[in-house]
Amino acid sequence: MRDRMPQLPATALTPAQQEAVAAITAGPRGELFGPFVPLLRSPGAMVRLQEVGAHLRFGSILPKAVLEMAVLQVARARNQVFEWGYHCQLALDAGVPREVVEDIAAGREPGPLAEPLATGYAVVAGVLADNDIPDELYDRALDVLGEEGLIDVIVCAGYYTTLAMVMNATRTDAGALSPPVEMSSS
């Protein structure tokens, strides 16, 4: 499949797009890649979305393992190869057990998880499946993740779902990413 919205040449960028590129390259990402390539067609949306992503990845109180596992859950649920490839090693490095990554890759629910992974996994699974979580899980999530952490894990699921939808619809090229655990096709 062809990449419907490949990288734009620097000479073709509008002033708003140039500002958006400057904003993203000045931050912790340092370059324009992945979902931000098609998103650049709407520079206002790209800048605002990347700020949400920067908060989640670099400023959230969520434990990195919970965040990265949530990204993998969304990538699996939305069959998003770029996000899987980019975040798989990050999840392992953050402490998500390899068996858990393998289970998510295969579309299986992981075996028993330690906290806070167990609660994070359950919240993301709930919002992806039902756009909601039961009261008991909500109360547990408040105890384990706190209000800010609960909101951040839900926002994480929504943010990465948005990126997955953009990249899937524009068929963003996953490039030469070689994740240590391949996501099964579905």
Which residue has 């390899």 as its token pair?
Answer: 98
Classify residue 86: in a domain, yes or no. Answer: yes
Residue 2 lies in a domain: no
**Residue 184: per-residue pLDDT:** 81
- C-alpha–C-alpha distance, residues 79 and 82, integer Å: 9
In a domain, 32, yes or no: yes
**Burial letters 78-114, b for 16+ CB under 10 A, else e:** bebbbbbbbbbbbbbeeebbeebbebbbeeeebeebe
- pLDDT per residue as tens digits for the range 150-163: 999 999 999 999 99
Are 77 and 161 within one domain? Answer: yes
In the predicted structure, residue 67 carries a pLDDT above the cut 70: yes
Residue 154 and residue 128: Cα distance in Å, rounded?
Answer: 9
Do 70 and 24 lie in a common domain?
A: no
157, 161, 120: which is closest to 140 by C-alpha?
120
> Quick one: 81 and 147 in the same domain?
yes
Asked if residue 110 has a cis previous peptide bond (ω within 30° of 0), the answer is no
Are residues 35 and 70 both part of a single domain?
no
Do both 68 and 53 map to the same domain?
no
* pTM listed for this prediction: 0.94
Same domain for 103 and 85? yes
Higher pLDDT, 14 or 176: 14
**176 or 92: which leads in pLDDT:** 92
Total structural domains in the chain?
2
Residue 186 has a pLDDT of 61
Structure confidence by residue, pLDDT tens digits, 17-55:
999 999 999 988 888 999 999 999 999 999 999 999 999
Residue 45 belongs to domain spanning: 14-58
Same domain, 50 and 69: no
Mean pLDDT (the chain, rounded): 95
